[in-house]
Amino acid sequence: MPPGTAIAGRVCAGTELAELSRSERFLRACRGQEVDRPPVWLMRQAGRYLPAYRETRSGVTFLEACRDVDRAVEISLQPLRLVGTEAVILFSDIFVPVVGMGVPITFSPGPTLETPLRSPAQVEALAGGDPRAEVPYVFEILGALRKALAADEVPLLGFAGAPWTLAAYLVEGRGSKEFGAIKRMLYGEPELLRELLARLTDMTVAYLRAQVEAGAHAVQLFDTWAGLLSPAEYREWVLPTHQRIVAETAVSGAPFILYVKDSAHVVPELFQTGADVVSLDWRVELAQVAERFGAETSLQGNLDPSALAAPPEQIAQRVQDLAEAAAPARGHILNLGHGCLPETPVEGVRAFTEAARGLAGVR
């Protein structure tokens, strides 16, 4: 990047920013304060593309790994050591607290229910008042990670699945391309769906607040399937859940990152939630969104995960392009537009984080 090129956060000329710890850089980028360069991490950075993950996971089921505090801590930390990411995200899954609500879910490898959740009785039967009691191990893992990361001042992220995405799997019973069952419920039994979403929203607020109390510096909400809705349906069924979760989690003081996949048709709505950071997928033009919405909200993203198959110098070029595109925004966190894929090359992930560090000191 030529000297003087702007990057998001408007790097200051002073020397003190060169000393930023990883936590400070990350939290400042979330809040739109000056930084020396964008921080970098990757969604699904702990996962099957890493041989060390496959080794640590072997011999136990996915849920067993999520419940085993030492193992989950080890998996969470692997990307920090192995691929140079600059934030650690809790190793868990968006369905862990739903298992805590008493729903029998298995992973093969995605979440699967033997009996999809479609009746009023099943919705009524959902527990979910107290994640600390229902899934205590999540908070033990966060506490242990916060301790492990303290000396190096690395930021720790908690996360939750958004109510629409959780409900889409619960009502369908499994992953799907179209999630037709929840759409049939939306049109055929809207009151039942409203009740389900309300319960999931309550649980999500309690879950995220408890994660911050247990040590998460920031939290990310994943709404992977809300993009299946039309803009009008999205405004009715999804936006209010995001607004409530952001508002009620804000009391914790931790920055809030909102990720919605396939959101190009609802971009203005992403910025009506009060989230500190909006995480974009690769189908949106980062530069345009930065111009239009970036003054008030920081941005995260948005490389296509498949692009990590490119040679390192091409990845570096894309990182530079992303940083320049995001420059009009008050802050930018380098990330993918969705999670690492099982076939993602480890070398590509390393090239991505190294290129981010190479942006240092450009101004």
Q: Work out whether 94 is an interface residue with ligand 1CP (CB under 6 A).
A: yes
The residue whose two tokens read 């009008």 is 232
207 is catalytic: no
Query: Tokens 């992930």 appear where?
Result: 349
Exactly one of 10, 48, 235, 265 binds ligand 1CP (CB under 6 A); that residue is 48
Contact with ligand 1CP (CB under 6 A) among 26, 49, 91, 207: 91
| 263 interacts with ligand 1CP by CB under 6 A | no
Q: Helices (H) and strands (E) in the chain — how many of each?
A: 17, 9
State in angstroms the smallest separation of the CB of 361 from ligand 1CP. 29
Active site residue 93: yes
The two tokens of residue 176 are 């799907």
301, 336 Cβ separation under 8 angstroms? yes
Q: How many residues does the chain have?
A: 363
Interface residues for ligand 1CP in 299-338 (CB under 6 A)? none
Which positions from 50 to 89 touch ligand 1CP by CB under 6 A, shown as an x/- string?
-------x----x--------------------------x
Query: Could you tell me which of 156, 163, 257 has the C-alpha nearest to residue 213?
Result: 156
Contact status: 110 vs ligand 1CP (CB under 6 A)? yes
Whichever of 283 and 363 has its CB closer to ligand 1CP, that residue is: 283
Edge-to-edge strand list for the sheet holding 256-260: 88-89, 156-161, 218-223, 256-260, 277-279, 298-303, 332-336
Residue 133: Cβ within 10 Å count: 9
| Active-site residue, 81 included | no
Q: Which residue has the tokens 């911050």?
A: 212
Examine residue 46 and tell whether it contacts ligand 1CP (CB under 6 A).
yes
**Residue 49 engages ligand 1CP in binding (rule: CB under 6 A):** no
- Which value, to the nearest 10 degrees, does the dihedral of the CA atoms of residues 304, 243, 227, 335 take? 10
Please give the DSSP secondary-structure letter assigned to residue 131.
Answer: H
Catalytic residues: 44, 48, 57, 93, 169
Q: Residues in the site for ligand 1CP, rule: CB under 6 A?
A: 43-48, 57, 62, 89, 91-94, 107, 109-111, 159, 161, 165, 175, 222, 224, 339
